[in-house]
């Protein structure tokens, strides 16, 4: 809650022949440049590996994770070089289509995990999104289905298919395949080695302007990419200007984020790739700001959710792993956008999980996707709360809302008075 009072080719994972092992070692030096990868495990920990030379002491844990008795594959969506946010939007769409295909047919038997490919530098835009597939039964139809998926790709840039194999000496290898003509061709192979954990989550350089937007223009640019349709935005802005001319008392004027003028498109954008969905919610905050700007000059305005909520859920959702992998305190991603109307006071009402479940049940309404996730996933709930607490300029004032309404109201009024309102 925010208070504003003034404007602001088929291969099996068994043992390989000595001759094939020698061939694998011989091709290990063909890597154009090293790539690092990270995978989120079921316990919310992250494991990192790198493609390199087998002399660099392989780790048996990786062989256990990716090697036999099952078989593991990696599918990555290459990021085509280009200017602006266009390449990110296109890659996000390819990634989403790929996810939908992986959840169909024989590929449903695979255990699916997020896979991030990243380089040694911390440059934004260097992240390669993909999937790690683990087939515990090593079924021959799995690899066949993956090759068919690549063949059916109508885009100029195909996803990259990698296959993990263990040799007779326990070394784990990744073989990279491409479709050329009527068959698949191995274009690279390298030894899979344990990589040291990076100082910060590899996704952090990409958070700004792909998950959390620094300003309105950055969010709008995503939705103005070729292929996007923006008549809804024009209509929403017109309605926003019309709504801002109203004069309503505080108890009747409590705008929501996203505002009603674009809420009819919420379900559509919830099905869009992450960067498009986050841009939609980000622009919703600016529309809310235009609605409250005029009213806040006359009397205080309370907003139910605002930028803090948009950013907190985006960060907690997109940054894989547990609490320790969130952006550190004072990271730029926690800073309020400079061009967005800033609240004078932000209150974060909290209750324990049991009380929240009881109140939701008492509403008699269907749970939202976010509410269901908060209830089912304790780690996700903790990440959301920690992200809220790290917000700055302005920060969130925590209010224990488990007490009676009257007591909570008194606490809130005291905080408002201390803030000088």
**Domains of the chain (ranges plus CATH)?**
18-194 (no CATH), 203-418 (3.40.50)
Task: Encode pLDDT of 141-158 as tens digits.
Answer: 999 999 888 888 776 677
This prediction has a pTM of 0.81
Strands 46-52 vs 111-118: parallel, antiparallel or unpaired: unpaired
Q: Does residue 228 have a pLDDT over 60?
A: no
Strands 46-52 vs 128-135: parallel, antiparallel or unpaired: unpaired
Instruction: Tell me the C-alpha distance between 21 and 168, whole Å.
Output: 8
Pick from 310, 304, 229, 221: which is nearest to 268 by CA? 229
Exposed / middle / buried, residue 253 (Cβ in 10 Å: 0-12, 13-18, 19+):
middle
Higher pLDDT, 12 or 412: 412
Q: Does residue 413 have a pLDDT over 70?
A: yes
Pick from 293, 284, 351, 347: which is nearest to 311 by CA? 284
pLDDT score at 394:
94
pLDDT score at 269:
87
Q: Does residue 344 have a pLDDT over 80?
A: yes
Task: Encode pLDDT of 243-294 as tens digits.
Answer: 433 333 444 445 566 777 777 788 888 888 889 999 999 999 998 898 888 7
The DSSP letter of residue 123 is: -
3-state secondary structure of 267: helix
Q: What percent of the chain has pLDDT over 90?
A: 30
pLDDT score at 246:
38
289 contacts 340 by C-beta, under 8 angstroms:
yes
Pick from 277, 258, 218: which is nearest to 96 by CA? 277
Strands 71-76 vs 301-303: parallel, antiparallel or unpaired: unpaired
Pick from 23, 16, 134, 18: which is nearest to 74 by CA? 134
Higher pLDDT, 36 or 259: 36
Instruction: Tell me the C-alpha distance between 278 and 290, whole Å.
Output: 19
């Amino acid at each position: 809650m925010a208070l504003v009072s003034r404007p602001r080719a088929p291969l099996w994972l068994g043992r390989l022949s000595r001759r094939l092992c020698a061939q694998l070692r011989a091709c290990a030096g063909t890597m154009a440049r090293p790539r690092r990868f990270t995978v989120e495990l079921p316990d919310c920990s992250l494991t990192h590996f790198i493609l390199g030379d087998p002399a660099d002491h392989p780790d048996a844990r990786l062989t256990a994770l990716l090697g036999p008795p099952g078989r593991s594959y990696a599918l990555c969506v290459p990021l085509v070089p280009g200017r602006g946010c266009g390449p990110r939007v296109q890659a996000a769409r390819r990634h989403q289509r790929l996810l939908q295909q992986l959840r169909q047919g024989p590929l449903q038997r695979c255990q699916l995990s997020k896979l991030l490919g990243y380089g040694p530098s911390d440059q934004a835009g260097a992240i390669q999104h993909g999937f790690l597939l683990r087939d515990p039964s090593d079924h021959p139809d799995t690899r066949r289905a993956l090759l068919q998926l690549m063949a059916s790709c109508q885009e100029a840039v195909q996803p990259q298919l990698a296959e993990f194999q263990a040799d007779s000496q326990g070394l784990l290898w990744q073989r990279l395949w491409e479709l050329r003509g009527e068959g698949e061709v191995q274009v690279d192979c390298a030894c899979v080695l344990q990589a040291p954990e990076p100082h910060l989550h590899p996704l952090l350089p990409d958070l700004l302007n792909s998950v959390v937007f620094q300003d309105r223009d950055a969010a709008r640019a995503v939705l103005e990419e070729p292929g996007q349709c923006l008549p809804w935005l024009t209509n929403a802005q017109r309605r926003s200007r019309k709504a801002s001319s109203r004069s309503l008392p505080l108890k009747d004027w409590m705008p929501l984020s996203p505002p009603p003028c674009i809420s009819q498109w919420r379900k559509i954008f919830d099905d869009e790739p992450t960067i498009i969905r986050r841009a939609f919610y980000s622009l919703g905050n600016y529309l809310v700001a235009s609605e409250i700007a005029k009213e806040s000059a006359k009397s205080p305005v309370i907003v139910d959710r605002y930028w803090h909520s948009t950013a907190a859920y985006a960060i907690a959702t997109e940054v894989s792993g547990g609490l320790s992998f969130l952006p550190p305190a004072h990271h730029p991603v926690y800073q309020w956008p400079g061009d967005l109307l800033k609240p004078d006071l932000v209150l974060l009402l909290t209750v324990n999980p049991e009380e929240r479940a009881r109140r939701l049940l008492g509403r008699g309404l269907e749970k939202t996707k976010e509410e269901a996730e908060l209830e089912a996933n304790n780690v996700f709930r903790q990440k959301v709360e920690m992200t809220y607490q790290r917000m700055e300029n302005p920060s969130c004032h925590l209010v224990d809302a488990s007490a009676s309404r009257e007591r909570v109201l008194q606490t809130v009024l005291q905080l408002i008075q201390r803030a000088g309102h």
